[in-house]
Amino acid sequence: MDPHLIASDLDSTLLDAEHRVDGLTRETLRTLAARGHRIALASGRHYQDIAAIRRQLEIPAWIISSNGAYVHDPEDTVVSETLVPPERVRELVDLPRPAAVRLNLYTRDRWLIDAEAPELLPLHAMTGFTYQVDDMQTVEQESIGKVLYIGEPALLAPLEAIIRKRHGDALHVTYSAANSLEIMQRGVNKATALSRALKALDLSTERALAFGDNFNDIEMLTLVGNAYVVANAHPDVVDQLPRATRIGAHHESAVAHTLRAFFDLT
């Protein structure tokens, strides 16, 4: 079969319930990479976080991190970087927020947070990537790709409303999970990032497959010729993607099973 580009979200899509890569998924991706197909790991996670997962997979994969703010090729060359302007970062940092909401910033190399949040650590246990507590006083000196608020949905909704009212379409606002409100620069999403990879590889969207589960996957799933949503996807995401194929749940290795059927792996 001609080479295809396979792009997948990680948490609640490619990874299992413990945020790990199961054996079948690892074997499937390695087999497809060996046959000349291209892989892209597309996530809201930090680049360093995803790179650790790629090392465990032992495949040459593109990395789309911070929802597309950064794109790295398999040799770790930076293909693109789109930052949130410093003045907008400062406005988001200074935005009043409930004490229970954690403010996070993703720089090129670091994950900064405004206070300890041990409940977030299990999500990254497989990679060992972790946050650094910061007072956020000098963030204008950092290169910020993503601003992330983590908290209960009822606490995030008012923040989202204020951000959308103040900044309009100057910022891209989305959710990677119900408790994760994510803000990037305008035009930053997984689809624009994936388009750069497709152009570099001289592949059409018809030769691309993508898998996802949440709002930050919608643009990517709309772009590709073969879109799949896992059974555990947010219902509103499913409703917005009428052309996407519904597959099994992430804890059932649904991405691997779908790929094995599509590429006729026995």
- What are the sequence ranges of the domains in the chain? 5-81+188-262, 86-185
Q: What average pLDDT does this structure show over 230-245?
A: 97
Q: What average pLDDT does this structure show over 159-181?
A: 97
Q: What was the pLDDT predicted at 90?
A: 96
In CATH terms, 86-185 corresponds, of 3.50.50.60, 3.40.120.10, 3.30.1240.10, 3.40.50.300, to 3.30.1240.10
pLDDT single digits (tens) 179-224: 999 999 999 999 999 999 999 999 999 999 999 999 999 999 999 9
Q: What was the pLDDT predicted at 7?
A: 98
Residue 55's alpha-carbon distances to 9, 59, 249, in angstroms, are 17, 7, 24
- Evaluate if residue 236 carries a pLDDT over 90: yes
- Evaluate if residue 161 carries a pLDDT over 90: yes
Check for a shared fold between 5-81+188-262 and 86-185: no
Q: What was the pLDDT predicted at 63?
A: 98
pLDDT single digits (tens) 55-101: 999 999 999 999 999 999 999 999 999 999 999 999 999 999 999 99
Mean pLDDT estimate for the chain: 97
The CATH code belonging to domain 5-81+188-262 is 3.40.50.1000
- Evaluate if residue 140 carries a pLDDT over 90: no
Q: What was the pLDDT predicted at 209?
A: 98
- Whole-number Å distance between alpha carbons of 226 and 250: 18
Q: How confident is the model at residue 266 (pLDDT cuts 50, 70, 90)?
A: confident
Q: How confident is the model at residue 1 (pLDDT cuts 50, 70, 90)?
A: confident
